[in-house]
């Protein structure tokens, strides 16, 4: 009796200490949220984040998906945001100047597509339900013996430590986890991106002030391998001109990191585009955020680097959003990781028009399971041929769908999840 009371007490006090909001969660039906975003495991957040915190995570997840899929279907290399954080195609040293860079270009596009698809599609398992180990868990309580989040700002009102951080499944066995710290919910300048967009229009030079929940979520999503990225996307540590070696965080450093090999930023033009941006989470996050505001606010910049006078240049990110994820020194990046993913189709050297099929879950698992049947959300079985699309990106003619032990036409909504589009129906 005493023991159990002690346990209950320990459990409750641990919960209270780690919860950013003290109110008890109201009972609510989160099934629609589970179904809308099956790539995410929501149940821990419901218990740990409080009502208000949970609502913020749901709404910011919905909007983060809007942001990462916003106007990127066309020639992505022509976007000013691409030019700012990855550099446009063409010219000496551009993405088309070597096979390695061409491959890396395809990798970045694949990663950009995956982040926009995984939360809504996830990886269905046998019988329909989604397994927690194949989802990313959101949580607000830090795992036991972990103490990375600040619980309050300092006496001067400044927050230290991360807004959120991502944990590799090897630490918990429960799959990938994103821990949202009190700072994420309570720091004043972190707002919904819609509130910022609806507020006073700011010029593109103010990009680094536009900090949103969605930005923080997108940054963490880029670290989660189960989203299907070809390689683990890290926080790259590098030296850029006028800065000591440090994590490449924030708009300004990401922009400089992308342009580091071009003579506009310092030294002679050596290597053109910096293909190591493919490995840096914050380059992706800022790419999406810049692209959003560029369109919403009709910014006129083309994203190119222009040297600013030192007198004008101010410290743009006084408090880095250090999320304590894995880092890699740019000099240690293994360029052999940059290959054409098996799900991407490139004809000749036309990297620009590569097209990539959806990878449900971890890329290495996808490659291993290519020759095995897999499941749709509605519990039907797709044959192994359904993993990859065929010529002209139509579905492979050998792809079959079986629901309740019966071969079912692919156009049946229960069969959704095969790669490629349905062949055009014969004219009657
Ligand atoms: Zn990070």
Same domain, 336 and 245: yes
Please indicate, yes or no, if residue 428 is contained in any of the structural domains.
yes
Co-location of 141 and 279 in the same domain: yes
Are 382 and 244 part of one and the same domain?
no
- List the structure tokens of 225: 């391998």
In the prediction, which pLDDT does 14 show? Answer: 44
Residue 291's CB is within 10 A of a number of other CB atoms, namely: 23
Q: Are residues 285 and 406 in the same domain?
A: no
- Residue 352 falls inside a structural domain: no
* Same domain membership, residue 420 and residue 308: no
134, 228 contact by CB (below 8 A): no
For residue 3, with 0-12 CB atoms within 10 Å meaning exposed, 13-18 middle and 19 or more buried, which class applies?
Answer: exposed
How many Å lie between the centroid of ligand 1 and the Cα of residue 327? 8
How far away, in angstroms, is 300 Cα from ligand 1 center?
Answer: 29
Question: What is the whole-number distance in angstroms between the Cα of residue 377 and the centre of ligand 1?
Answer: 31
- Are residues 424 and 330 located together in one domain of the fold? no
Distance 202 CA to ligand 1 centre (A): 26
Residue 359: inside a domain: no
Whether the Cβ atoms of residue 375 and residue 128 lie closer than 8 Å to each other: yes
Long-range CB pairs of 402-406, under 8 A, 24+ apart, other chains included: 403/378, 403/379
- Does the residue 169 lie in any domain? yes
Q: What is the reported pLDDT for 130?
A: 87
Same domain for 127 and 219?
Answer: yes
Residue 24, domain member (yes or no): yes
| pLDDT recorded at residue 327 | 85
Shared domain for 400 and 320, answered yes or no, is: no
Give 324 Cα–ligand 1 centroid separation in angstroms.
Answer: 7
pLDDT tens across the length of the chain (428 residues): 344 444 444 444 444 444 454 455 567 889 999 999 999 999 999 999 999 999 999 999 999 999 999 999 999 999 999 999 999 876 678 898 889 999 999 999 999 999 999 999 999 988 667 899 999 999 999 988 888 999 999 988 889 889 999 998 877 788 999 999 999 999 999 999 999 999 999 999 999 999 999 999 999 999 999 999 999 999 999 988 888 888 999 999 999 999 988 866 655 556 789 999 999 999 999 999 999 999 999 999 999 988 765 444 454 554 455 666 678 888 889 888 899 999 999 988 899 999 999 999 999 999 999 999 999 999 999 999 999 998 778 999 999 999 999 999 999 999 999 999 997 765 55
End-to-end CA distance of the chain: 76
275: CATH: 3.40.390.10
Regarding whether 419 and 294 lie in a shared domain, the answer is no
**How remote is the CA of residue 263 from the centroid of ligand 1, in Å?**
28
**239 CA distance to ligand 1 middle (Å):** 17
Looking at the fold, whether 23 and 107 belong to one and the same domain comes out as: yes
Domain enclosing residue 42, as ranges: 2-344
Question: What is the C-alpha R_g of the chain?
Answer: 23
Distance from the alpha carbon of residue 422 to the mean position of ligand 1, in angstroms = 38
Give the pLDDT confidence score for residue 92 in this predicted structure: 72
The alpha carbon of 405 and the centre of ligand 1 are apart by a number of angstroms equal to 45
402 plus 308 within the same structural domain: no
Distance from C-alpha of 264 to C-alpha of 25, rounded to nearest angstrom: 53
Residue 70: Cβ within 10 Å count: 16
Look at residue 356 and tell me if it is in a domain.
no
Centroid of ligand 1 to alpha carbon of 248 (angstroms)? 9
Distance 347 CA to ligand 1 centre (A): 34
Q: Would you say residue 354 lies in a domain?
A: no
Distance in Å, CA 41 to ligand 1 centroid? 20
How many angstroms separate the alpha carbon of residue 311 from the centre of ligand 1?
30
Q: In the sheet where 374-375 sits, what is the strand order?
A: 374-375, 381-382, 401-403, 406-408
- Would you state the pLDDT for residue 415? 97
**Ligand 1 center–CA 325 separation, angstroms:** 5
Residue 205 covered by a domain: yes
Number of domains in the chain: 2
Distance 134 CA to ligand 1 centre (A): 21
In three-state form (DSSP H/G/I as H, E/B as E, the rest C), the secondary structure along the chain is CHHHHHHHHHHHHHHHHHCCCCCCCCCCCCHHHHHHCCCEECHHHHHHCHHHHHHHHHHHHHHHHHHHCCCCCCCHHHCHHHHHHCCCCCCCCCCCCCHHHHHHHHHHHHHHHHHHHHHHHCCCCCCCCCCHHHCEEEECCCCCCCCCCCCCCCCCCCCCCCCEEEECHHHCCCCEEEEECHHHHHCCCCECHHHHHHCCCCCHHHHHHCCEHHHHHHHHHCCCHHHCCCCCCEEEEECCCCCCCEECCHHHHHHHHHCCCCCCCCCCCCCCCCHHHHHEHHHHHHHHHHHHHHHHCCCCCCCCCCCCCCCCCCCCCCCCCCCCCCEEEHHHCCHHHCCCCCCEECCCCCHHHCEECCCCCCHHHHHHCCCCCEECCCCCEECHHHHCECHHHEECCCCCEEECCEEECCCCHHHCCCCCECCCCCCC
Distance from C-alpha of 4 to C-alpha of 6, rounded to nearest angstrom: 5
Residues 68, 142 within the same domain: yes
**Residues 410, 382: Cα–Cα separation, whole Å:** 9
């Amino acid at each position: 009796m005493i023991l159990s009371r002690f346990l209950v007490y320990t459990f409750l006090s641990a919960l209270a200490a780690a919860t950013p909001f003290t109110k008890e969660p109201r009972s609510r039906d989160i099934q629609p949220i589970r179904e809308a975003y099956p790539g995410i495991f929501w149940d821990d957040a419901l218990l740990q984040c409080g009502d208000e915190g949970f609502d913020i995570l749901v709404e910011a997840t919905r909007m983060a998906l809007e942001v990462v899929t916003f106007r990127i279907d066309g020639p992505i290399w022509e976007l000013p945001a691409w030019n700012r954080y990855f550099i446009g195609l063409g010219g000496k040293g551009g993405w088309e100047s070597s096979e390695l860079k061409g491959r890396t270009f395809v990798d970045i596009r694949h990663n950009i597509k995956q982040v926009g698809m995984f939360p809504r599609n996830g990886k269905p398992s046998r019988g329909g339900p989604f397994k927690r180990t194949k989802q990313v868990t959101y949580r607000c309580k830090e795992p036991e013996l972990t103490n990375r989040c600040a619980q309050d700002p300092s006496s001067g009102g400044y927050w230290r430590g991360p807004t959120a951080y991502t944990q590799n499944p090897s630490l918990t066995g429960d799959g990938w986890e994103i821990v949202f710290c009190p700072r994420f919910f309570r720091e004043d300048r972190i707002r919904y991106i819609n509130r910022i967009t609806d507020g006073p229009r700011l010029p593109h030079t103010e990009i680094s002030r536009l900090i949103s929940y969605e930005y923080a979520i997108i940054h963490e999503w880029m670290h989660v391998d189960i989203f299907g990225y070809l390689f683990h996307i890290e926080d790259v540590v590098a030296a850029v001109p006028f800065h000591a070696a440090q994590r490449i965080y924030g708009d300004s450093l990401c922009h400089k990191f992308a342009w580091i090999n071009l003579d506009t930023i310092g030294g002679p033009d050596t290597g053109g585009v910096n293909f190591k941006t493919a490995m840096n989470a914050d380059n992706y996050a800022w790419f999406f955020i810049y692209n959003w505001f560029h369109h919403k606010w009709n910014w006129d910049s083309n994203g190119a680097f222009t040297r600013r006078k030192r007198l004008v240049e101010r410290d743009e990110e006084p408090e880095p959003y250090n999320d304590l994820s894995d880092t890699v020194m740019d000099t240690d990046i293994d360029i052999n990781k940059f290959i054409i993913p098996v799900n991407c189709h490139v004809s000749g050297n036309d990297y620009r028009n590569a097209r990539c099929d959806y990878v449900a879950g971890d890329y290495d698992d996808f490659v291993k399971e290519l020759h095995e049947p897999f499941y749709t959300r509605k519990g039907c079985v797709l044959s192994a041929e359904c993993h990859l699309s065929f010529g002209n990106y139509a579905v492979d003619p050998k792809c079959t769908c079986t629901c309740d032990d019966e071969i079912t036409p692919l156009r049946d909504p229960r069969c959704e999840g095969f790669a490629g589009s349905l062949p055009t129906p014969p004219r009657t």
